Structure 1
Amino acid sequence: MAARLTKLLLNVMIQRSLGAVKVVMSPESTVGDLIAAAVRLYAKEGRRPLLPMTDPADFDLHYSQFSLESLNREEKLKELGSRNFFLCRKKPNEAPVDASSSSSSSSLAVASSSCSNQAEKVSKIAVPWVRFMNFLLKLIESEREREREKTLSKIRAGPDGGCCVAHGSVKIMSRELLLIL
């Protein structure tokens, strides 16, 4: 006879909070039930920072803080494959999803967390900065190259059999002939 899970211990990290909320729930519970339980427990324990609102519909559950897509509220906990989650607040302008009033394709588009929208905004801003930083790195490297060429000196044999030193822009020909001043 196979052992059957009766309860799950789940860790829910809430955005900007220091520690995870530990919630014990039935495997048959849904993601929406977990969100409601985690928010209720967080408020009951009086954790800091205080949540600006305690309505579970204002929050989304993710596998981690780096996951852009939120979990489906109707999915069973036993089907998720993880026991650690991240709870973050939805944006104020984002309407809660009501599956009974919309088609499944439009609800999936709205159900994805605002995290994906934020990631798109950041990537649009970041691309010009990356190009600018690349330009600055190339500029710095070319300046270093010019400075290195200026500081190189070459020792040559003098006409009287002695040595003379040539200064200025000298290309590296042989390491034995170069002195760095």
Structure 2
Amino acid sequence: MEVRVKKGFSEKQKSKIDVKRNSTRLLITVNVPGSAGPLRFVVNEDDKVAGVIDMALKQYAHQGRLPLLGSDPTHFLLLPTSLGLEALGASELIGLCGVRNFILCKKQPAELRESRWKAEGMIDQKSKSSSCWKTWLNKSFAFKIHFH
């Protein structure tokens, strides 16, 4: 069955329309710790995890749920419930993990700092500064006690 597309669309726009029609849609469940119940919504299997987190946060806010979470998707992790405690990467495709039940949780402050440093290209500087700090700490606790 061939679908006709209106005139005036470029080839690129036509291919996007065909991809959207052919992509599989998934009903996923996202649990938020401390919230009354899970969020359920439909996503495309080729949606990225970052986009799914953004959709979950928007739906959570639209429903007026508590506790308040915020709206920045970079502050959250999406954990599949059946695959252990390994968070999905923001650029991974949601359909490739093979799971439909997730937990949305906030990143810890250290994780936020590290993800910001990675985004800004400062991860090398962080490791250098932490090694200097560790060296200083080790030297300061290395007391030499002389008994005469």
The TM-score with structure 1 as length reference comes to 0.49
Alignment of 1:59-138 (within 5 A): 59-64=76-81, 67-94=84-111, 95=113, 97=115, 101-102=120-121
Which residue of structure 2 aligns with residue 26 of structure 1?
44
Larger helix proportion of the pair: 2
Between stretches 78-87 and 15-24, larger displacement belongs to 15-24
Alignment of 1:36-75 (within 5 A): 36-51=54-69, 53-64=70-81, 67-75=84-92
Q: Distance in 1 between matches of 2:120 and 2:56?
A: 26
Larger strand proportion of the pair: 1
Larger radius of gyration: 1
The letter for the 2-side match of 1:79 is: L
Q: Deviations over 1:126-146 (max 9, x none)?
A: xxxxxxxxxxxxxxxxxxxxx
Percentage identity across aligned positions?
A: 34
Shift of 1:54: 1.9
Shift of 1:67: 3.1
Unaligned runs of 5+ in 2: 1-21, 124-148
SS of 1:18 mapped into structure 2: coil
The TM-score with structure 2 as length reference comes to 0.58
Alignment of 1:9-24 (within 5 A): 9-24=27-42
SS of 1:97 mapped into structure 2: helix
Shift of 1:69: 1.9
Shift of 1:96: 5.9
Distance 1:44 1:6, change over 3 A: same
Shift of 1:5: 4.6
Unaligned runs of 5+ in 1: 107-181
Q: Which runs of 4+ in 1 moved over 3 A?
A: 98-103
Shift of 1:77: 1.3
